[in-house]
């Protein structure tokens, strides 16, 4: 990870436009979990890789993720990310859009350096699926007609696609046998789905639903996340009128978030969301089965537990 961080710092430089490293550093230095590059490194090592290109791929994955965050914050008009003001607030939307574009382009340049066309195909495909998922989310938000199958499409795009690509390229760069690369891909896919479901659950305070800070962003943005979808599916006529008002019409008053939480608890929507996260965590573990036993395989398995543990 040390080498990945060094490479990220090197490649976010720009000779002509000093705002680029400023904006990028603001986000990169804020930390974040660096989960995606870690997945690439672990997957490559698990497959016995001994070269250096996995470091480039890990940095690529983090660049794509960072570019996505910059654009997301513009799209969501967010004001906070990782406990700090967002780049669009500190600089402007313009800088976030363009610096995101720069990072996308740099990420492709990094991949090209590996000279591996399969890796290039997997990661550019993932980038397209990410954007597609975000566009789909735009039209799926604010509509009570959004069901679980649309939700799955959205989170497979916006989150799981990069997790799946991050682990798969670790196998592919190692010239692992196809069944192993496919297992790593399935693992990343399930892990990403589990991760996003947990995120969506935590946005409503988790199953404890203790009313704390940073709760309710998705509610205010009228996102059809899993807890909402399940509460809506079980809603009475009066409750449906409530959801129509706050999600579809966007008329939100004081006390509405508390009411939403009350309805979710009444219908067990938070518990069943947690159960789904656990189920996808288990699928991630199961996907690892074809891979030979090793410490790194155990670590990936524990990572699946860790991701879900935030929610229980």
Under the binding rule (CB under 8 A), the answer on residue 74 touching a second copy is yes
Under the binding rule (CB under 8 A), the answer on residue 162 touching a second copy is no
Q: Per CB under 8 A, which of residues 14..43 are in contact with a second copy?
A: 14, 16-20
End-to-end Cα separation, the chain, in angstroms = 28
The Cα–Cα gap between 194 and 165 comes to 16
Owner of token pair 């509405």: 256
SS3 call for 213: coil
207 exposure class (CB count in 10 Å sphere: 0-12, 13-18, 19+): buried
User: For the chain, how many residues are written?
Assistant: 312
Under the binding rule (CB under 8 A), the answer on residue 121 touching a second copy is yes
The answer to whether residues 255 and 292 touch, using CB atoms and an 8 Å cutoff, is no
Under the binding rule (CB under 8 A), the answer on residue 134 touching a second copy is yes
Q: How far apart are CB 163 and a second copy at their closest, in Å?
A: 17
Q: How far apart are CB 142 and a second copy at their closest, in Å?
A: 12
Under the binding rule (CB under 8 A), the answer on residue 71 touching a second copy is yes
| Longest Cα–Cα distance in the chain | 61
- Helix, strand, coil percent values for the chain (each to nearest 5): 70, 0, 25
Q: Which stretch binds a second copy (CB under 8 A): 113-121, 181-189, 207-215, 219-227?
A: 113-121
The answer to whether residues 245 and 142 touch, using CB atoms and an 8 Å cutoff, is no
Owner of token pair 């996260």: 277
Under the binding rule (CB under 8 A), the answer on residue 120 touching a second copy is yes
Residue with smaller CB distance to a second copy, 9 or 97: 97
Q: Which stretch binds a second copy (CB under 8 A): 112-120, 214-222, 225-233, 297-305?
A: 112-120
Q: How far apart are CB 155 and a second copy at their closest, in Å?
A: 12
Residue 153 is encoded by which pair of tokens? 């499409």
Distant-in-sequence, close-in-space partners of 248: CB < 8 Å, separation ≥ 6: 142, 143, 144, 222
Q: Per CB under 8 A, which of residues 195..254 are in contact with a second copy?
A: none
Residue with smaller CB distance to a second copy, 90 or 241: 90
Binding site residues, a second copy, CB under 8 A: 14, 16-20, 71, 74-75, 93-95, 97-102, 104-106, 108-109, 112, 115, 117, 120-121, 124-125, 127-128, 130-136, 138-139, 153, 157
């Amino acid at each position: 990870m040390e080498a990945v961080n060094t490479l990220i710092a090197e490649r976010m430089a720009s000779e002509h436009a000093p705002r680029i490293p400023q904006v990028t550093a603001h986000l990169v230095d804020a930390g974040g979990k660096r989960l995606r590059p870690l997945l690439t490194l672990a997957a490559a090592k698990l497959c016995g890789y001994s070269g250096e290109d996995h470091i480039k791929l890990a940095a690529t994955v983090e660049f794509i993720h960072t570019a996505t965050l910059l654009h997301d914050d513009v799209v969501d008009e967010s004001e906070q990310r990782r406990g700090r003001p967002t780049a669009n607030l500190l600089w402007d939307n313009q800088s976030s859009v363009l610096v995101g574009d720069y990072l996308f382009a740099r990420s492709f340049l990094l991949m090209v350096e590996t000279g591996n066309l399969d890796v290039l195909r997997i990661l550019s495909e993932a980038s397209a699926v990410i954007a597609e998922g975000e566009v789909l989310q735009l039209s799926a938000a604010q509509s009570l007609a959004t069901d679980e199958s649309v939700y799955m499409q959205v989170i497979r795009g916006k989150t799981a696609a990069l997790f799946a690509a991050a682990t798969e390229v670790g196998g592919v760069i190692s010239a692992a046998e196809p069944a192993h690369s496919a297992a790593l891909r399935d693992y990343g896919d399930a892990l990403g789905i589990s991760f996003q479901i947990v995120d969506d659950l935590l946005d409503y305070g988790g199953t404890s639903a203790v009313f704390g800070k940073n709760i309710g962003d998705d509610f205010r943005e009228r996102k059809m996340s899993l807890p909402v979808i399940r509460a809506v599916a079980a809603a009475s006529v009066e409750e449906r009128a409530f959801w129509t008002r706050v999600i579809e019409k966007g008329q939100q008053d004081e006390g509405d978030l508390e009411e939403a939480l009350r309805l979710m608890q009444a219908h067990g929507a938070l518990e069943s969301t947690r159960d789904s996260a656990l189920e996808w965590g288990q699928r991630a573990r199961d996907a690892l089965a074809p891979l030979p036993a090793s410490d790194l395989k155990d670590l990936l398995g524990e990572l699946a537990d860790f991701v879900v543990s935030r929610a229980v």
